[in-house]
Chain A
Amino acid sequence: MAGSGTAHMRNSVDSVLTVRDLTVEFKISKDKVVKAVSGLSFDVVKGETLAVVGESGCGKTTLARAILQLPPPNSGEVIFNGTDLTSLPKENLRSARTSMQMIFQDPISSLDPRMTVQQLIDEPLEIWGRGTREERNERINTLLNNVGLEPELVLNRRSYEFSGGQCQRISIARALALDPRMLICDEPVSALDVSIQAQILNLLQDMKDQFGLTMVFISHDLAVVKAVSDRVMVMYLGKICEIATPEALYSKPAHHYTKALLDSVPIADPTRQKITELLQGEPPSPMNPPTGCRFRTRCHAATARCAEQEPQLREVSPGQFVACHHPIV
């Protein structure tokens, strides 16, 4: 499995975000380096929702932060709206960022508890001087209505007075304030109750349709991802395993890790319980990833070649790319 390889890149003129060879590493001590993301490349086309799926330690959250340059990656390019964010000077980066907004996992801690909803949503507008006070207030009301909240009821209250779902709506309203082109959603519904998840997912979908947004949707929940994505990218230990459309990925996974992930998801139907061989063991430490294919230590199809040579992404069926020497056929 590799993150190397660019066979899956579409090099389209419609590309909103193109990431090339992104590497993020954290130095813990003199000889201990955490290789969170290693040489990742991918692109997202206008109007598309790219889902990034993986378990803890795969590097997906690090990837999200690196795209925003918070903090900037160790190497690689992040080309957004035609400009490479990694090479932008600080001031230009500040303004470039406003086109790309992020929704976070913990709804309550993503809002400053000392500020009212009015102040929270006004903040981005005020920083960039988007209109007079009246104009801004009107915009805030519109945004709140868009996300299904009644302005009179919420404007003067603070984050701790709301439920998780409502806080997430406020975050979405805030993120949309500056008319971004792209939204990065980092596990936006993981912390919410099951019956609320559907509401927020539908809201994100509606906002995307209404404003023509492009989305990067990060999650560990494969079922959630299937409902919202146009393209799914599976990560493991800082590398890409497989990238394909949801239909292809879910019905005919080509990578052994993808298959293991899908087999592990519990099905809400007692008559359809699978008895499959489960993935054993734990992921290796990102400080010491295995040579060659990083998944080989847990893969029952691993051969000697997997240890020596890092697999590159290649197309196994139209639109489906996998980084594996022995993909599932």
Chain B
Amino acid sequence: MRKFTKPTWLAIGWLSLMMFFAIFGWALPFKSWNFVYEDDLEVGLFTNGHILGTDSNGYDLFASIVAGTRMSIFIAIAAVGLGGLIGSVLGITAAYVRGKVDTVMVTIFNVGLSVPNLVLALALVSVLATNVDINQAVPTWRRVMVLIMSLTIVLIPILGRIARGATLSWTGREFVTAARSMGMRDSKIITKHIVPNVLPALIAVAFLAVGVVIIVEASLSILGVGIPDGASWGGMIARGRNDLEYAPHVLYVPIAFLALSVISTNHLGDVVRSQLDSREAKV
């Protein structure tokens, strides 16, 4: 734990808090997030026991935030995790094997990168997670699955390219030739030598990706194709759109949480990357 600066500790603290909400939020002594406090509609911060106030539906904002954290973080980690895993497997293999495999993979990556993520998500959700009769709701888990799937598809080429680039630079090093000349199998070389050296670069980018995914998920919710029952930060923003004039805190609260979370992940991603760079400089 070398000399972390104050902002880094703040970022770590914030994200730890978010993780706590995500994992233990259901145990907190709140009523369900969509419990209607009929007497407290649109009250401001710190009124009547509502730390962050309520919105026009009477939902307690703090409870909503906590509930939403779970969804947003879960989707973000799942998408980045899956996308990172598949992407790095493809990217590392392509860069290690080279030749036709590499060319094909790069083309696939490029095609994937050219598809705008929001459009893809919209398309997938409307086809796979919407009933013909739009008034009939779709089970939340199905929506969530499709969302994660579409975000994963978008992330695979991004993380795959990073993995491929890092692998190309590491495979050129002489210790890989040395390992081959020792009689090490290629699969073992990849797992023991390439992956541990490529991982730091991937982790740094993964942090940044988490931030991006949180925002994308929120955007989708605003567009109406997010989690149907609105238990996410994006859903809160979508619901609070109309409250901007009279009860702006309804919007500011989720936006603030969104922004702080994305800033934190970006910052930590930078910190990881710079720690990695200074290590590389010594080599």
Q: Which residues of A contact B (CB under 8 A)?
A: 65, 68, 70, 94-95, 97-98, 100-102, 104-106, 108-114, 123-124, 127-128, 159-160, 171, 174, 178
A70 touches B177 (CB 8 A): yes
- Output the nearest chain A residue to B173 by Cβ-Cβ distance: A109
Tell me the complex Cα distance, A100–B181, Å: 8
Tell me the complex Cα distance, A112–B183, Å: 16
24 A–B contacts from the bound complex (CB under 8 Å): A65-B177, A68-B181, A70-B177, A94-B185, A95-B183, A97-B180, A97-B182, A98-B182, A100-B181, A102-B178, A102-B181, A104-B174, A104-B178, A109-B173, A109-B283, A112-B175, A112-B179, A112-B193, A113-B279, A114-B197, A123-B182, A123-B192, A127-B183, A171-B178
3 closest A-B pairs by beta carbon, nearest first, are A110-B174, A104-B174, A94-B183
Q: Which of B174, B180, B196 contacts A114 (CB 8 A)?
A: B196
Tell me the complex Cα distance, A178–B183, Å: 11
Nearest CB on B from A67, distance (A): 10
B177: chain A residues within 8 A (beta carbon): 65, 70, 102, 104
- Output the nearest chain A residue to B280 by Cβ-Cβ distance: A113
Known: A106-B174, A109-B173, A110-B175. A101 touches B181 (CB 8 A): yes
For B182, B184, B188, B279, the residue with the greatest tally of chain A CB atoms inside 10 Å of its CB is B182
B183 touches A97 (CB 8 A): yes
Nearest CB on B from A160, distance (A): 4
Nearest CB on A from B2, distance (A): 16
Q: Which of B189-205 contact A (CB under 8 A)?
A: 192-193, 196-197
Tell me the complex Cα distance, A95–B185, Å: 11
A109 touches B175 (CB 8 A): yes
B282 at the interface (CB under 8 A from A): yes
- Output the nearest chain B residue to A184 by Cβ-Cβ distance: B181
B188: chain A residues within 8 A (beta carbon): 127
A111 touches B175 (CB 8 A): yes
Nearest CB on B from A240, distance (A): 24
B282: chain A residues within 8 A (beta carbon): 160
B279: chain A residues within 8 A (beta carbon): 113, 160
A174: chain B residues within 8 A (beta carbon): 178
A128 touches B183 (CB 8 A): yes
A113 touches B197 (CB 8 A): yes
Q: Which of B92-151 contact A (CB under 8 A)?
A: none
Tell me the complex Cα distance, A106–B173, Å: 9
B181 touches A70 (CB 8 A): yes
Tell me the complex Cα distance, A94–B181, Å: 8
Known: A159-B283, A160-B282, A160-B283. A110 touches B183 (CB 8 A): no
B193: chain A residues within 8 A (beta carbon): 112
- Output the nearest chain A residue to B175 by Cβ-Cβ distance: A112
Tell me the complex Cα distance, A100–B184, Å: 14
B196: chain A residues within 8 A (beta carbon): 114
B173: chain A residues within 8 A (beta carbon): 109-110
Q: Which of B143-177 contact A (CB under 8 A)?
A: 173-175, 177
A70 touches B180 (CB 8 A): yes
B183 touches A98 (CB 8 A): yes
Known: A109-B175, A123-B182, A178-B182. 12 other contacts (CB 8 A): A70-B181, A98-B182, A98-B183, A102-B177, A102-B178, A109-B283, A110-B174, A112-B193, A127-B183, A127-B184, A127-B188, A174-B178
A111: chain B residues within 8 A (beta carbon): 175
Tell me the complex Cα distance, A321–B197, Å: 48
A98: chain B residues within 8 A (beta carbon): 182-183
A108: chain B residues within 8 A (beta carbon): 283
- Output the nearest chain A residue to B185 by Cβ-Cβ distance: A94
- Output the nearest chain A residue to B178 by Cβ-Cβ distance: A110
Tell me the complex Cα distance, A101–B282, Å: 27
B179 touches A123 (CB 8 A): yes
Nearest CB on A from B190, distance (A): 13
Tell me the complex Cα distance, A97–B182, Å: 7
Nearest CB on B from A47, distance (A): 22
B180: chain A residues within 8 A (beta carbon): 68, 70, 97
Tell me the complex Cα distance, A109–B176, Å: 9
Indicate with 1 or 0, residue by residue over B256-283, a CB within 8 angstroms of chain A CB atoms: 0000000000000000000000010011
B283: chain A residues within 8 A (beta carbon): 108-109, 113, 159-160
A109 touches B174 (CB 8 A): yes
Tell me the complex Cα distance, A127–B192, Å: 12
B175: chain A residues within 8 A (beta carbon): 109-112
A127: chain B residues within 8 A (beta carbon): 182-184, 188
Nearest CB on B from A64, distance (A): 10
B192: chain A residues within 8 A (beta carbon): 123
Tell me the complex Cα distance, A114–B283, Å: 10
Known: A106-B174, A159-B283. A112 touches B181 (CB 8 A): no
A70: chain B residues within 8 A (beta carbon): 177, 180-181
B185: chain A residues within 8 A (beta carbon): 94
